[in-house]
């Protein structure tokens, strides 16, 4: 037995990532509100660009994603040389861990933070260190007191998934300033576009040599199925990531669709406004039923129930109504359900179903 191939230590400690379900046995066409997808889909321009890319399938794609980086840089007012693109922001998170964390090191993530952070840490042999939140909010002081000389990376998402809560820029900057410079602070802005006027941490990633921002086309850009993300930060870090990433990590279709999607900011503004309107409506409708949530800054709300049993019963009932939401026990929130903001009809259906579950229909 001893001579069989053995995975690196730490890998078998990884809990498999549970993606949002998309099917319910026996239910045709369920409404999927479990993966924070944009119910309005991508810009038409992105779909058209994707289809046009079929003409180049015999050619290798660009290795440097110059056209996509140029579009991102123009829209965000950033330096294209400080941008790196990947297959979803998941790839960027993993590249950061591969390059900057490893055996003997620690990677800090927050109590109710995104599950990819401990997965990435263990995948590279580092030790994930979970820091408690305060009332479902990232706690800067708790993070700072968990930092040791072994700390290599601190991951925070802002807004945070699955809580929907957000740290003020001043709090994030306090963290950036207080961290020892050998520690990288990764600001995951997967939901940043849902916050009007928020730069996702771009200024901090411009000014601090140890701050890096990640972003995605999977959420407001409606391209989760295509797998495109990007990162922005100090040139030295971008240079390191470019050395280890797969040179052809994005296909023609991914590059073309993402570039067109980035250039259609009118679509993004419409999606942001519609999400804000429906999120406010759904949060108020559920609060009227006694199901409360923290003010959310993302495209989902975290609905709190009396306990895990009630959340589970509600989830089961919603399934019978053809509605798929997300149980978040693996995020340390077994008494909650995360509900993605769908289109108007989906929001009305989920509110009506929860009212029926509560006996208040
Ligand atoms: N960060 C956060 C906070 C997320 O919620 C997600 C998606 N669930 C991601 C990163 C990864 O997104 P993607 O790999 O699709 O870009």
Q: What is the DSSP string of 55-83?
A: GGTTSPPPSS-HHHHHHHHHHHT--GGGE
Domain-located, residue 324: yes
Domain-located, residue 220: yes
Looking at 242, 264, 286, the residue that finishes a domain is: 264
Residues 148, 297: one domain? no
Q: How far is the CA of 279 from the centre of ligand 1 (A)?
A: 20
Q: How far is the CA of 157 from the centre of ligand 1 (A)?
A: 9
User: Distance between CA atoms of 124 and 265, rounded to whole angstroms?
Assistant: 37
Q: Which atom of ligand 1 is nearest to the CA of 217?
A: 16
Please report how the helices 252-263 and 265-288 are oriented relative to each other, as an axis angle in degrees rounded to 10: 80
Residues 123, 248: one domain? yes
Q: Whose CA is nearest to atom 6 of ligand 1?
A: 190
Ligand 1, residues 36, 116, 167, 340: which to mutate, most atoms within 8 A of Cβ?
Answer: 116
Residues 197, 319: one domain? no
- How many other β-carbons are positioned within 10 Å of the β-carbon of residue 343? 14
Residues 67, 204: one domain? yes
218 lines ligand 1 (CB under 6 A): yes
Residue found by looking up tokens 């995951």 in the block: 188
Domain-located, residue 5: no
Q: Which domain holds residue 26?
A: 11-41+266-357
Predicted model pTM: 0.97
pLDDT digit string, tens, across residues 82-122: 999 999 999 999 999 999 999 999 999 999 999 999 999 99
190 lines ligand 1 (CB under 6 A): yes
Domain-located, residue 182: yes
pLDDT digit string, tens, across residues 214-254: 999 999 999 999 999 999 999 999 999 999 999 999 999 99
CATH of the domain at 23: 3.90.1150.10
What is the band of 210 on the pLDDT scale with cuts at 50, 70, 90? very high
Residues 305, 326: one domain? yes
The ipTM assigned to this model is 0.99
Residues 274, 329: one domain? yes
CATH of the domain at 193: 3.40.640.10
Ligand 1, residues 17, 35, 38, 90: which to mutate, most atoms within 8 A of Cβ?
Answer: 90
Q: How far is the CA of 35 from the centre of ligand 1 (A)?
A: 10
Query: Which CA distances in Å does 168 have to 67, 161, 173, 176, 181?
Result: 33, 16, 9, 13, 21
Class of residue 53 by CB neighbours under 10 A (exposed 0-12, middle 13-18, buried 19+) = middle
Residues 301, 174: one domain? no
């Amino acid at each position: 037995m001893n001579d069989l191939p053995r995975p690196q230590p730490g890998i078998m400690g990884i809990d498999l990532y549970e993606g949002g379900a998309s099917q319910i046995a026996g239910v045709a066409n369920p409404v999927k509100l479990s993966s924070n997808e944009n119910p309005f889909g991508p810009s038409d321009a992105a779909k058209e660009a994707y289809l046009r890319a079929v003409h180049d399938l015999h050619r290798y794609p660009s290795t440097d994603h110059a056209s996509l980086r140029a579009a991102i840089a123009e829209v965000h007012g950033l330096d294209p040389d400080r941008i790196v693109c990947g297959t979803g922001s998941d790839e960027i998170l993993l590249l950061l861990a591969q390059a900057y964390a490893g055996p003997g090191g620690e990677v800090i993530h927050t109590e109710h933070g995104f599950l990819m952070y401990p997965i990435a840490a263990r995948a590279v042999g580092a030790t994930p260190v979970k820091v408690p939140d305060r009332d479902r909010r990232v706690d800067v002081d708790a993070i700072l007191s968990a930092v040791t000389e072994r700390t290599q990376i601190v991951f925070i998402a802002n807004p945070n998934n699955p809580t929907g809560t957000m740290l003020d820029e001043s709090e994030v900057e306090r963290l950036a300033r207080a961290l020892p410079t050998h520690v990288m602070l990764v600001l995951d802005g997967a939901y940043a576009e849902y916050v009007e006027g928020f730069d996702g941490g771009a200024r901090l990633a411009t000014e601090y040599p140890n701050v890096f921002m990640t972003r995605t086309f999977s959420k407001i850009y409606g391209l989760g199925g295509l797998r495109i993300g990007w990162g922005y930060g100090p040139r030295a870090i971008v240079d390191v990531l470019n050395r280890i990433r797969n040179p052809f990590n994005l296909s023609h279709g991914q590059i073309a669709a993402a570039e067109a999607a980035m250039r259609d900011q009118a679509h993004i503004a419409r999606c942001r406004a519609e999400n804000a309107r429906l999120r406010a409506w759904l949060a108020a409708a559920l609060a009227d039923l006694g199901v409360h949530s923290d003010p959310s800054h993302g495209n989902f709300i975290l609905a709190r129930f009396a306990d895990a049993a009630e959340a589970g019963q509600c989830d089961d009932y919603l399934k019978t109504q053809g509605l798929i939401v997300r149980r978040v026990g693996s995020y340390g929130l077994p008494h909650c359900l995360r509900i993605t903001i769908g289109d108007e009809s989906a929001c009305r259906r989920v509110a009506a179903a929860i009212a029926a579950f509560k006996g208040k229909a």
